[in-house]
Amino acid sequence: MAIQPSFDVTSTVDLQEIDNALNQARKEVAQRYDFKGSKASIEFDAKDSKLVLIADDEFKLNALWEILLTRLVRRNVPTKNLARGTAEPAANSTVRQEVALQQGIPSDKAREIVKFIKDAKLKKVQAAIQGDQLRITSSSKDELQEVMRVLREQDFGVALQFGNYRG
C-alpha cells in the first residue's frame, strides 16, 4: 500500500538565533547614550523558554523591547511566538518584564487550525493533532499545496512552519 502524501505544521523558534539577537541587542544597549548609567539588561532562560527585561523605568523598558524586537526581526525570528507579560516593579527601583517564548502549537490553536481546514471544504484532507504539531494528509498533492496556501493567508496568532513533506 502506498504512503499518503503528508506534511507537518509546526511553530518553533530557533533558540540560537534568539541568543544571537540578544547579544546584538545587549551591544546596542551598551553603546546607546540614553542607557548610559542605567540598569538595563536582557536575560534569557532557555530551559523555561522565557526572556526577562529589566530597566530603570517603563519608558526605558519599552525602548529595550523595541531594540530587542528589531534585532529579532533582522534575524528572522517569528515575533508572533513572543508573549509579552506585564511590567512589574522589581528590586532597586527597577521595572521587570517577562516575555514567554511559544514553542510548538498550543492545543487550542491546533484545534482552531483543524476546524479551519475542515471548514475550508478541501476534498480528502485530514488534519491530526500530534502533540505540539499537526500532520496534514491527503491523497492529492495539489490539495496539500492548497492547504499550505490557505494556512499562510490566515492569521492564527502563531508563526506556522511547514516541513517533513512526504509525497
Output the DSSP codes for 145-160.
Answer: HHHHHHHHHS--SS--
Q: CA 135 to CA 125: how far, in whole Å?
A: 10
Same domain, 23 and 95: yes
Looking at residue 123, what is its pLDDT? Answer: 79
- Which of 74, 101, 128 marks a domain boundary? 101
Provide the 10 A C-beta neighbour count for residue 146.
16
Structure-block grid coordinates of residue 94: 527597577
Residue 1: inside a domain: no
- pTM equals 0.82
Residue 66: inside a domain: yes
Domains of the chain: total:
2
| 30-57 tens-digit pLDDT | 998 988 888 889 999 988 889 999 999 8
Contacts of 113 (CB under 8 A, 6+ apart): 9, 105, 127, 134, 151, 156
Looking at residue 2, what is its pLDDT? Answer: 60
